[in-house]
Amino acid sequence: MGLKQAITPYLWFDGTAEEAANFYVSVFPHSRILTVAHYSGIDPEREGQVLAVLFELDGVKFGAINGGPMFKLSEATSFLIDCRTQEEIDFYWEKLGAGGQYQACGWLKDRFGLSWQVNSQELVEKAHADPAISRRVMAVMMEMTKIDLAALEKAAAGA
């Protein structure tokens, strides 16, 4: 029996939940759509339309709900993609950023409005462990849009 995921993030969309879930599943390895629920007897105007989608991204469950226009995704919530190589950073940067907005310090907003941090958790943890390293790395990172691991590693090393 597998481990149960205790917390499942749900993302709010205005009619694009299934499209967004299918897009994310196409980007991340080991991902799949689990279920698609439709409006049925809840709202006659939306009868038969997609209500919610449950999906996995690299083994992590997410939900997407078509809740309507009253709430929007924002940078207040983001997901960090822990990349080990520059090639991984380049891949996610291009795939998720297409049709969206590239932002500073390795952040981007995809075409659905969801914010992602495309970075290296290992490098972030290394920088946070030492204030001097953190200042150097952050100074270099603040000048970047897409993360350049070699430049950040060089800054961490004090070069």
Q: Which residue has the tokens 């038969």?
A: 48
Number of domains forming the structure of the chain: 2
Which residues contact residue 73 at a Cβ distance below 8 angstroms, ignoring those fewer than 6 apart? 11, 12, 13, 112, 113, 114, 115
CB 77 within 8 A of CB 112: no
Report which DSSP code applies to 46.
G
Which residues contact residue 80 at a Cβ distance below 8 angstroms, ignoring those fewer than 6 apart? 116, 117, 119, 121
3 within a domain of the structure (yes/no):
no
Same domain membership, residue 57 and residue 14: yes
2 within a domain of the structure (yes/no):
no
Model confidence pLDDT, tens digit, residues 25-58: 999 999 999 999 999 988 888 899 999 999 999 9
Residue 1 has pLDDT above 70, yes or no: no
Report which DSSP code applies to 51.
E
Mean pLDDT of the chain: 94
Which residues contact residue 67 at a Cβ distance below 8 angstroms, ignoring those fewer than 6 apart? 12, 13, 14
- Expressed as residue numbers, the domain containing 22 is 8-69
> Of 51-55, 80-84, 155-159, which gets the smallest average pLDDT?
155-159
Confidence of residue 2 (pLDDT cuts 50, 70, 90): low
Same domain membership, residue 89 and residue 56: no
Q: Give the percent of the chain with pLDDT over 90.
A: 82
CATH code of the domain covering residue 131? 3.10.180.10
Confidence of residue 13 (pLDDT cuts 50, 70, 90): very high
**What is residue 41's predicted lDDT score, i.e. its pLDDT?**
87
Q: What is the pTM of this model?
A: 0.90
Cα–Cα distances in Å, from 23 out to 3, 36, 94, 149? 26, 14, 13, 26
Model confidence pLDDT, tens digit, residues 50-78: 999 999 999 999 999 999 999 999 999 99
Same domain membership, residue 83 and residue 62: no
**Residue in 9, 14, 7 with CA at minimum distance from that of residue 113:** 14
